[in-house]
Amino acid sequence: MKCRYACQSAEHLTSRRSFLSGMAAGSAGLAAGLGGMGLGGMLASNPAIASQVQARHKKILNIFLHGGVSQLESWDPKPNTDTGGPFRAIPTSAPGIHISELLPHTAKQMHHLSIVRSLNTKNGDHGRGTVEMMTGHKETPGTEYPHLGAVVAKSLMRPDFALPGHILIRGGGPGASSAAYLGPKYSSVVMNGGQPPAFTERPATLSLESDQRRNAFRARLNDRFAARRRTADTDAYTFSYEQAQSLLAQRQVFEVSRESEADQERYGTSEFGRHCLLARRLLEHDVPFVQINHSNYDTHFENFDFHIEQLGEFDQPFANLVADLADRGLLEETLICVMSEFGRTPRINNRYGRDHWGTAWSVVLGGTGIQPGAVYGKTNENGTAVEDGECDHGHIFHTLLQAVGIDSTAEFDIGGQPFPVADPAKGPLWDVLT
């Protein structure tokens, strides 16, 4: 028999186990204060969770350069060719790897990073490209796939983790991203312009004392109901309010202004700079998936001037972030990815622009699980085709997940039905992984 309806996913096992062990702890009397059990109580009664809290966890930082960054002005320069444009290639801290001179600070961190230079996603449409890179699947009418962040949050979020598992720091680009069949728990929590997420502040009319009183009364009601019937669902529901209280207590996690003045100065006043510092803060607080959107790279006109400007904003904060994560030991548990929906044409159009191009472009990876200072794949001399190691969004998606220890070839069990974690027709780029 091939049926696997018994819940085999890690999350199911964990939540079910913790539910049952919680029951066991309180088995003397089902109604004994379970509804009111706070995080502390939960941890005390559940050593499995307590030990998880001690351990650091893997996470992903994804930086999405919306509009499509030019690979020729960034990760795969082709100076002195018909397509190369005006900029030089400069050596980097990774021996043998050259990148565009527009990224001098990043160049000093390349020993932490790797470049995949051989993407051929066969697509030049913004919407489709975004869906493909973010879900690892070709866009399929009538089917919605979960966003990378949702897959990561679902796989890596601990049951007791009160902060959101999937945060989008939005500076332009699309809004909230969907968790599709994984459910609302894993949809992105959006920090628009770096502002704290919605509803993370008590209304002015609600005092802390009042909130505590009403929650205490809620807990009493829940205890009474638990004496009638208690299930994994009722426990999860009760616990979500405990977690909300815990999140409100940690609200300063969302406030980048709490970082030191020196750091704020170092990251600069640009929106992207502040977002990078915020991302560092969130990762330090163990948020499993953080995405920064940086917009806009859609340079059909004046490609070169625009890239000086955009990458000028990108370079220093990004390099700071990589260096800081490395210094603090966070790169050992954090995977960094810099992607776009596609690259830009080698051909320079008559307005000094470059157009949409999915045929031969690059993505940068670094940190946990990734070979440092390496290049995967190769484009031809003037960047018009992939010569070696051709891959696409599906392979990148698998690779990102594998790098943080998620089995991308496994399946999620949703309501008894299996859903592949990533496109089963693709697989990871094993050579990129450590």
Partner 1 sequence: MLQLHWSRPRRLASLLAAILLLTTIGLGGSGSQKPLWADEPAPAAAEKAAPEKAAEEKAAEERAALSQLRHRVDELIEAAAIGPLAPLCSDHDFVRRVSLDLTGVIPTPARVREFLADERVDKRERLIDELVSSPEFARHMAVLLDVALLERRTAKHIPVPSWEQYLFESIAADKPLDQLFRELIVGDRLGAETQPATKFLTSREAEPHAVTRGIGRLAFGMDLQCAQCHDHPLVDDYYQSDYHGLYAFLHRTSLLAAAKGNKLSERADGEANFTSVFTGDGRQWVLPQLPKGKTLLSEPTFAAGEEYTTKPDKTVAGVPKHSRREALAQLLGESRQFQRNVANRIWALVFGRGIVDPLDYHHTDNPPQNPALLNLLADQVRERRFDLRGMIRELVATRTYQRACDAPRPETVNFADIAARAERLAGRLEAALAAVEPLQKSAAAANEAWEQALTHNEAVAVQLPELQKGVTAAKEKHEQAVAAQKTAAETLARVQDQAAALAAAASQTEAAAAKLADDKELAAAAATVRSKSDAVAATVPAAMSAVSGAEAATAAAVKAVAEAEAAVAKAVESRVPAEKLAALEQARLAAVAQWTAAKHEHQAIATQLETCRTAAEYVSANESDPATAEARWQSLVEAWTIAGQIAPLKPLTPEQLAASGMRATGMLAPQIAAVEAKLDKAPPEPLKAAAEEAKPKLKAKLVQQELLNQLRGTVRQFVTHYGGLPGEDFQATVNQALFVGNSTLVAGWLNPAGDNLAQRLAASEDPAAVADELYVSVLSRHPKQDEKQAIAEVLADAGETRQERLGELIWALLSSTEFRFNH
Interface positions with partner 1 (CB under 8 A):
1-5, 19-21, 23-24, 27, 35, 140-143, 162-164, 181, 183-185, 189, 198-203, 205-206, 210-211, 213-215, 217-218, 220-222, 224-231, 233-234, 236-241, 243-244, 247-248, 414-418, 425
**Smallest separation, CB 67 to partner 1 (Å):** 23
**Smallest separation, CB 152 to partner 1 (Å):** 16
**Smallest separation, CB 145 to partner 1 (Å):** 12
Separation CA 145–CA 134 (nearest Å): 9
Separation CA 30–CA 422 (nearest Å): 41
**Smallest separation, CB 23 to partner 1 (Å):** 5
Nearer to partner 1, 248 or 308 (CB): 248
Q: How many helices (H) and strands (E) does the chain have?
A: 12, 16
**Smallest separation, CB 25 to partner 1 (Å):** 9
Q: What is the DSSP letter of 370?
A: B
Beta-carbon-side half-sphere exposure of residue 372 (alpha carbons within 13 Å): 14
3 state SS for 128-163 = HHHHHHHHCCCCECCECCCCHHHHHHHHHCCCCCCC
Q: Who's near 90: CB < 8 A, 6+ residues apart? A: 98, 99, 100, 101, 104, 107
Q: What is the DSSP letter of 306?
A: H
Nearer to partner 1, 34 or 363 (CB): 34
Tokens at 48, concatenated: 């499995």
Question: Residue 242 — φ and ψ, nearest 5°?
Answer: -60, -40
**Smallest separation, CB 42 to partner 1 (Å):** 14
Report the phi/psi class of residue 391: left, alpha or beta, with left for phi > 0 and alpha for psi in -120 to 50: beta
* CA neighbor of 59 nearest in space, from 155, 181, 169, 200: 155
Nearer to partner 1, 224 or 328 (CB): 224
Separation CA 219–CA 224 (nearest Å): 9
Nearer to partner 1, 150 or 403 (CB): 150
Nearer to partner 1, 163 or 336 (CB): 163
Question: Residue 148 — φ and ψ, nearest 5°?
Answer: -45, -45
Nearer to partner 1, 4 or 328 (CB): 4
**Smallest separation, CB 30 to partner 1 (Å):** 8
Nearer to partner 1, 162 or 339 (CB): 162
Are 384 and 358 in contact, with CB atoms under 8 Å apart?
Answer: no
How many angstroms separate the Cα of 353 from the Cα of each of 261, 295, 304? 39, 17, 7
**Smallest separation, CB 126 to partner 1 (Å):** 17
Nearer to partner 1, 49 or 365 (CB): 49
**Smallest separation, CB 423 to partner 1 (Å):** 12
